[in-house]
């Protein structure tokens, strides 16, 4: 399975000639070559993870593609046909088996309501938590997309999260809120955390990919 990092929080997965998208949002450039798209996962309702403009373009290129997300996302995107998924559920789309974890977004501030969020484990190998520190308990994560910058993120908490998951490999995502200096610094912190469990940290820029 090929895992491609796009801008900010968007991930593309390709396997057996089919494609799965996760969280194409407002900071993500228009996506191309989606004729073999079999599913879109939206982890939560914030616009840096989905926008009507992105979904409209995706559905124009790949009509009828299933879109999955938690109940809060379905309510926010009520103009679209959203299949509601929840922690503990498993869904198969094409060659991708999706298992969902978590349930809530990390707290930004006590004045801001906490919303629904799901993390997703794909093919028992690649894990992306959305905007949360949800650990896929009991799973051996081969590749983790670890949040590296966000209004809700303190780098020490992000380091502890990588230590808790213990992935064999990891890369940073959710990064458009950081300057280049800040991004490099936070990546170095997550590299340290990954290496504590003998893992390898990858530096992936938008459009770059790795296999898992």
Each domain of the chain, given as residue ranges in start order, spans: 2-211
Kindly report the pTM of this predicted structure: 0.97
Nearest Cα neighbor of 174 from 200, 194, 142, 146 is 146
Question: What does each of the 212 residues of the chain score in pLDDT, given as a tens digit?
Answer: 999 999 999 999 999 999 999 999 999 999 989 989 999 999 999 999 999 999 999 999 999 999 999 999 999 999 999 999 999 999 999 999 999 999 999 999 999 999 999 999 999 999 999 999 999 999 999 999 999 999 999 999 999 999 999 999 999 999 999 999 999 999 999 999 999 999 999 999 999 999 99
- Cα Rg of the chain (Å, integer): 16
CATH class of residue range 2-211: alpha beta
- What is residue 23's predicted lDDT score, i.e. its pLDDT? 98
Secondary structure of residue 130 in the 3-state scheme:
coil
How many residues are present in the chain?
Answer: 212
CB 21 within 8 A of CB 11: yes
- What is residue 62's predicted lDDT score, i.e. its pLDDT? 96
**Crossing angle, helix 180-195 and helix 155-165, to 10 degrees?**
30
- What is residue 185's predicted lDDT score, i.e. its pLDDT? 98
Query: Phi and psi for 186 in degrees, rounded to 5?
Result: -70, -35
């Amino acid at each position: 399975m090929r895992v491609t990092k796009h801008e900010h929080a968007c991930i593309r997965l390709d396997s057996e000639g089919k494609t799965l998208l996760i969280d194409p949002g407002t900071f993500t450039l228009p996506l191309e070559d989606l004729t073999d798209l079999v599913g879109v996962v939206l982890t939560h309702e914030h616009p840096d993870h989905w926008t009507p403009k992105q979904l409209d373009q995706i559905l124009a290129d790949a009509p009828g593609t299933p879109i999955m997300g938690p109940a809060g996302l379905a309510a926010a995107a009520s103009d679209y046909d959203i299949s509601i998924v929840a922690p503990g559920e498993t869904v198969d789309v094409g060659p991708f088996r999706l298992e969902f974890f978590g349930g809530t977004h990390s707290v930004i501030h006590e004045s801001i309501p906490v919303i629904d969020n799901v993390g997703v484990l794909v093919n028992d190998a690649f894990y992306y938590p959305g905007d949360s520190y949800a650990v896929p308990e009991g799973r051996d994560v081969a590749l983790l997309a670890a949040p590296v910058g966000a209004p809700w993120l303190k780098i020490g908490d992000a380091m502890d999260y990588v230590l808790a998951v213990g992935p064999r490999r990891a890369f940073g995502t959710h990064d458009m809120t950081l300057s280049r200096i800040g991004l490099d610094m936070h990546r170095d912190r997550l590299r340290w955390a990954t290496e504590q469990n003998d893992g390898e940290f990858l530096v992936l820029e938008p459009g770059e990919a790795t296999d898992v």
